[in-house]
Amino acid sequence: MRSRKQLLETAVHGIFLMLGLVTVGCVLLITVYLVVSGIPAIRQIGLVPFLLGDTWESTAAQPSYGILPFILTSIYGTAGAILFGVPVGFFAAVYLAKLAPTQVKSIVEAAVSLLAGIPSVVYGLVGMLVLVPGTRALFHVPDGASLLAAIIVLSVMILPSIIKVSITALEAVPKEYEDASLALGATPIETYFRVSVPAARSGIAAAVVLGVGRAIGEAMAVMMVSGNAANMPSLFESVRFLTTAVSSEMSYSSGLQRQALFSIALVLFLFIMLINAVLNFFLKGQKEG
Amino acid sequence: MKKFASLMLVAVLALSVMAGCSQKTSGTVTTDGSTSMEKVIGALGEAFEAQNDRVTFTYNPTGSGSGIQAVLEGRCDIGLSSRDLKVEESAQGLTGTVLAYDGIAVIINPDSPISDLDVDTIAKIYTGEITNWKDVGGQDAEIVLIGREAGSGTRDGFESITGTVDNCQYRQELTSTGDVITAVSQNPDAIGYASLASVKDTVRAVTVGGVAPTEDAVKDGSYVIQRPFVLVTKTDTPLSEQAQKFFDFATSPDAAELISGAGAVAAN
Amino acid sequence: MLDRPISPSRRAYIGVMGLLCALSVLLVCALALFLIGYVLAAGLPNLSWELLTTKPSYLSDTIGILPDILNTIYIILAALLIVLPLGAGAAVYLTEYAANKRLVSVIEYAAETLSGIPSIIYGLVGMLVFTGVLGTSLLAGALTLVIMNLPTIMRTTQESLRTVPQSYREGAFGLGAGKWRVIRTVVLPGCADGIITGCILSVGRILGESAALLFTAGFAHALNGFFTGLASPGATLTVALYVYAKEQGEFGVAFAIAAILMLLTLAVNLTAALVGWYFRKRRAL
């Protein structure tokens, strides 16, 4: 009787252990699949020509598979989105976490959640109908589908995650810090920016890194506003990102072209893993205070 | 750990086999491929379902390449390609049957004064030899070249007929017909190309060498920018009964009206 | 001392920071208002009963999104059915069983990694792993979504498990209950709110997903029952929006779907807030 009960306990423990390991299994599965399907093309093309080649002509009679334009576009695009999105998100978060009256806060937070929930296709669609013609008219360029349009769409798209994570970090700052600062004669705004923000810096850094991850991984929206030509990045030129390189050619691809697309996905995945590692570092910093 | 992962996979596999079986016996015709063929194949499928009420017809618009791949791997009955099969694809044991012909319209913004371009001029525009509309009788503005992504059947058709394969200096490479039409309709200096069946009144199709892209002109070959719609099947594996029935229906003269209703020209 | 005037430089600092805060919030609000307004204005006029209750017909050249609505429901049900036991089980393991700190941190790191992977990568891997055996089908899409939403369910369940007072567990142990019994009777009922919150968040994420589903679930618009539906390719609402906007240039329909999605998102957010409020209140009692 007793041993049966023990057996049951062990079995249940085993089942839960397996469930716990599913996550690890999934990560391994994804990694293995991406590596296995990404390596062959890199081998055939050569790592250096693949990563540093500046021409991508996947279906030409003499195909060339250089993804440097995509890598640089992804980096520039993400940097641009951070440049626009982070300051706005940061100041909005400080206001919402510290200064806003409760009612204003809950309304704006609801709006931010709604922004987060809008499918990226909708961002792309609105971008295509409003932003692309707008860019063309405003800057007198022949065509508005460009790196700049993509940067603007991306900065709007990363706002919700930056705001939400920053608010959480700011709200976790112990009230005593702020009380002490206020008691010493600092005004509320000085307190929030000189005491609360430094105390929440790990969390805010995490928010920025999260934004970087979102921006570099976004595909559907930027595909509709960036023009998609495999040019070297330039603000008013049509450009192609790592993500859009994969998704735009995937459905028609075959042979080495298809394998090369998987290699691009592998490169993107490595970027994401790097970002995750950095993110994890900051989150740990936040937990430890 | 590995053991568990494989266990999961086996369970999933078992589930899928069961699902797959039930699907086959209920009489389904599955097609997969070219997005340009959507209207044609959708109309044919709907009419076919109406005639055979116990047969389900599915169409998955993934793209010509994916469709061909799907037939090859046995993931669908009939693949749909908006370009002729490549030699290496035929060599893998596939047969292509031309179902219809589709004109590729060269489209410009309705505000543009241009109304006619010949194939030679179109080629020069797309290869970057002519970069300003004033050189072809239009306004003084840089020409914005809109095209499709590499591998697209429409791009393949357009580039091979105009002799511009691999030489087009695209400003935008968009992934769908709708995107091309939208981009052209939003920019007065843009030029693009799209399947005739999909062209809407937000853009204007130019006449090519004086010939308007009409059904008759595509049929008699006087409108030269056109490409085939191809049904792709395995050469040595017979189709299922219901798939064969659909194949016969689609290629029969009876289907011609449906095909032309969807904007293409039937081959038979 | 309290009345001492604030120096001009401090005054400037306060002014600038306050202004930046106000501008940022105004910008965010303006953006949200613009997007919501634009989508609703372009979408609502195109909503009709016919659109919601029919399937598209090529012969009569009409568009209906009933199949897409059903597909969305099917894929949400299937994905949640699979992900719930996995995610909740993993959370129970982490909070109740795991003694090995290294293992816990490995699992948590894996979960964080999963939540950072962009959907296009999920789409690719789903295409490689699941469509190979399942064909392009809603089930393949659902399985892809399972991996995507695993970390969400895990995290919310974990958070609510942490709020189950340790004394409850100790009490149950003290009465001689075995560990499994304690989990079944004390721990699991206590994490219902976490599981529900996780579900709501996952529903929200699935509603908005397109990149991960395009290559796995396909985009057919056939009207099917639950099981046939899972086995065949099908478009969810968001994928249908993508297809109608991009392949066919049907912006009216696309914005109508976008408006529906936005209202659904609003409903999901509201539900999440209400559920959170309800459970907090119940816990406080």
Chain A interface includes B4 (CB < 8 A): yes
Question: Tens digits of per-residue pLDDT, A111-122?
Answer: 998 888 888 888
H-type alpha helices, A53-174: 68-94, 102-117, 120-126, 132-139, 147-171
Question: Tens digits of per-residue pLDDT, B207-224?
Answer: 998 899 888 888 888 999
Residue A208 has pLDDT above 60, yes or no: yes
Chain B interface includes A18 (CB < 8 A): yes
Contact B45 C130 (CB under 8 A): no
Mean pLDDT over each residue of chain B, to the nearest integer = 84
For range B7-36, the mean pLDDT: 58
- Domain ranges in chain C? 8-46, 50-284
Contact C230 B13 (CB under 8 A): no
8 Å CB contact between C111 and C87? no
Rg (CA), chain B: 21
- Gap between the Cα atoms of C258 and C237, Å rounded: 9
Higher-pLDDT residue of C132 and A85 is A85
Interface test mutation site (partner C, options A99, A109, A125, A216, max chain C beta carbons within 10 A)? A125
For range B105-124, the mean pLDDT: 92
Q: Is residue A24 part of a domain?
A: no
Contact B28 C137 (CB under 8 A): no
Q: Grade residue B24 by pLDDT with cuts at 50, 70 and 90.
A: very low
Q: A95 lies in which domain range?
A: 56-288
CATH code for the domain defined by C50-284: 1.10.3720.10
- Gap between the Cα atoms of C254 and C264, Å rounded: 15
CA B240, B243, B247, B252 torsion-angle sign: positive
Minimum Cα–Cα distance from A185: chain C residue: C2
Which pairing describes strands B172-174 and B144-148: parallel, antiparallel, or unpaired?
parallel
Residue B4 has pLDDT above 90, yes or no: no
Higher-pLDDT residue of B24 and C210 is C210
Query: What is the distance between the terminal CA atoms of chain B, rounded to a whole angstrom?
Result: 58
Higher-pLDDT residue of B63 and A10 is A10
Interface test mutation site (partner C, options B1, B13, B15, B16, max chain C beta carbons within 10 A)? B16
Q: CB B183: neighbour CB atoms within 10 A?
A: 27
Q: Grade residue B19 by pLDDT with cuts at 50, 70 and 90.
A: very low
Which pLDDT value is given to residue B98? Answer: 92
Contact B181 C139 (CB under 8 A): no
Which pLDDT value is given to residue C70? Answer: 93
**Half-sphere exposure of A272 toward its Cβ, with a 13 Å CA cutoff?**
29
Residue A185 has pLDDT above 70, yes or no: yes
Q: CATH number of the domain that A190 lies in?
A: 1.10.3720.10
Residue A269 has pLDDT above 70, yes or no: yes
* Cross-chain CB nearest to C14 (options A111, A159, A190): A190
Chain C interface includes B186 (CB < 8 A): no
8 Å CB contact between A132 and B174? no
- Gap between the Cα atoms of B203 and B212, Å rounded: 15
A58 three-state secondary structure: coil
Please state the ipTM of this predicted complex: 0.89
Which pLDDT value is given to residue A108? Answer: 92
- Gap between the Cα atoms of C62 and C49, Å rounded: 13
For range A272-286, the mean pLDDT: 85
Q: Grade residue B5 by pLDDT with cuts at 50, 70 and 90.
A: very low
* Cross-chain CB nearest to C58 (options B32, B35, B39): B39
For range B151-173, the mean pLDDT: 87
Q: Is residue A37 part of a domain?
A: no
Q: Is residue A19 part of a domain?
A: no
For range A68-75, the mean pLDDT: 95
**Half-sphere exposure of B71 toward its Cβ, with a 13 Å CA cutoff?**
35
Chain C, residues 189-248, CB within 8 A of chain B, namely 218-220, 222, 227-228, 230-233, 243, 245-248
Per-10-residue mean pLDDT, chain C, length 285: 73 92 94 92 90 82 88 95 93 88 90 90 91 86 95 91 84 83 84 86 90 86 83 89 81 90 89 84 72
For range B32-43, the mean pLDDT: 86
Residue B192 has pLDDT above 90, yes or no: yes
- Min Cα–Cα distance to chain A from B191, Å: 11
Which pLDDT value is given to residue B17? Answer: 43
Residues of C in contact with A279 (CB under 8 A): 112, 116
Q: What are the DSSP calls for chain B, one per residue?
A: -HHHHHHHHHHHHHHHHHHHHHHHHT-EEEEEE-STTHHHHHHHHHHHHHHSTT-EEEEEE--HHHHHHHHHTTSSSEEEESSPPPHHHHHTTEEEEEEEEEEEEEEE-TT----EE-HHHHHHHHHTS--BGGGGTS-SSB-EEEEE-TT-HHHHHHHHHHT-TTT---SEEESSHHHHHHHHHH-TTEEEEEEGGG--TTSEEPEETTB---HHHHHTT-S--EEEEEEEEESSSPPPHHHHHHHHHHHSGGGHHHHHHTTSEE--
Residues of A in contact with B153 (CB under 8 A): 252
Which of A269-278, B170-179, C39-48 is predicted with the least confidence, judged by mean pLDDT? B170-179
Residue C7 DSSP symbol: P
Chain B interface includes A23 (CB < 8 A): no
